[in-house]
Amino acid sequence: MMTRKNLLTAIIGTALTFGVSASSYASTTLKLSHNNPRDHAVHKAMDHMAKEVRKLTDGEVRIRIYPDAQLGNQRESMELMQNGALDMVKSNAAELEAFSPAYSAFNIPYLFRDKGHFYKVQEGTIGEEILASSRNSGFIGMTYYDAGARSFYTNKPIKTPADLKGIKVRVQPSPSAINMINALGGNPTPLAYGELYTALQQGVVDAAENNIPSFSLSRHSEVSKYFSLDEHTMVPDVLVISTKAYDSLSEEHQKALKQAALSSMQLMKDLWAESEAKERAKAEQLGVKFISVNKTAFVEAVQPMYNDIEQKNPALDQIIKRIQAVQ
């Protein structure tokens, strides 16, 4: 049997044969799981981050990305990360609500006035506080990724909340998303993203809601022909790392990782805009109609959510009021 020392010598020997420097053996490879396809803007942004961090650390920190839910859906990936089998996960604020309640703020409908307001929050003190809030739950947020606005899609136009009455609407497993559909008069049905195509096709659910790139790249555009631009939420994607993996990095490597993550967040803004235009055009070619919507009735219908939070959830209410105050 090969001893540990012999094994190491053999590995280093092989490495030297291939011209790899001995220092690369001190390298850390962080495994990152997410559920979007490779041609999704967020995959490209994270690919950029992986290259950046490798460059900034002279190859000592590497990130290996597993896309397409290969290693499990978002919830399963979070659990694998908590068990130490994965180091990083790209999820989104809706899904993270179950793991750290501060993320709920991003799931409240019609909270952000526009994209400029949203960017100021994600890149400002409130955004950073939310990313740091989950440290004791075993993970730390590194950055947000623009994921546009989410709207309803089904096989008829949704122009007012009345059009959702009695309809089964797929939501992410997020209490805020469930409350939102209830407030709008629909029937919320939590389901993992990967199960949604078949659920729409077979009528297990009637409608869903998402941003345009995810709608098109998951081919939901084949089975839902009306995309109503009510833009109820701006739920960012979020990149997280386990507290254990983060703490095992040197301070210098932690800084490099953050820098690479922030650089990919900035790149994502352009990638997102390009992707929204391209995927909308692709969906239109498939016969999808994009419907413009007067948002007033939607905004009014969700107001009880704000009153409820004010009465029952002071911590979240405070975050919401701080977000509203950001100019």
Binding residues for ligand GCU, rule: CB under 6 A, are: 35-36, 74, 92, 147, 172, 193, 210-211, 214, 237
Quote the CA–CA distance of 186 and 172 in Å, as a whole number.
Answer: 14
User: Cβ of residue 193: shortest distance to ligand GCU, in angstroms?
Assistant: 3
Q: Check if the beta carbon of residue 317 is closer than 8 Å to that of residue 105.
A: no
DSSP letter at 207 equals B
- Which residues, at least 6 apart from 81, have a Cβ–Cβ distance to it below 8 Å? 33, 87, 88, 89, 138, 139, 240, 242
User: Cβ of residue 314: shortest distance to ligand GCU, in angstroms?
Assistant: 29
Quote the CA–CA distance of 165 and 70 in Å, as a whole number.
Answer: 36
Residue number with CB closer to ligand GCU (56 or 169): 169
Residue number with CB closer to ligand GCU (74 or 151): 74
Quote the CA–CA distance of 36 and 211 in Å, as a whole number.
Answer: 13
Residue number with CB closer to ligand GCU (56 or 65): 65
Q: Check if the beta carbon of residue 81 is closer than 8 Å to that of residue 139.
A: yes
Residue number with CB closer to ligand GCU (36 or 143): 36
User: Cβ of residue 76: shortest distance to ligand GCU, in angstroms?
Assistant: 12
Residue number with CB closer to ligand GCU (57 or 264): 264
User: Cβ of residue 8: shortest distance to ligand GCU, in angstroms?
Assistant: 39
Quote the CA–CA distance of 94 and 71 in Å, as a whole number.
Answer: 20
Residue number with CB closer to ligand GCU (68 or 284): 68
User: Cβ of residue 175: shortest distance to ligand GCU, in angstroms?
Assistant: 15
User: Cβ of residue 217: shortest distance to ligand GCU, in angstroms?
Assistant: 9
CA distances from 163 to 64, 95, 154, 294 (A): 44, 26, 11, 13
Dig out the tokens for 238 from the structure.
């979020």
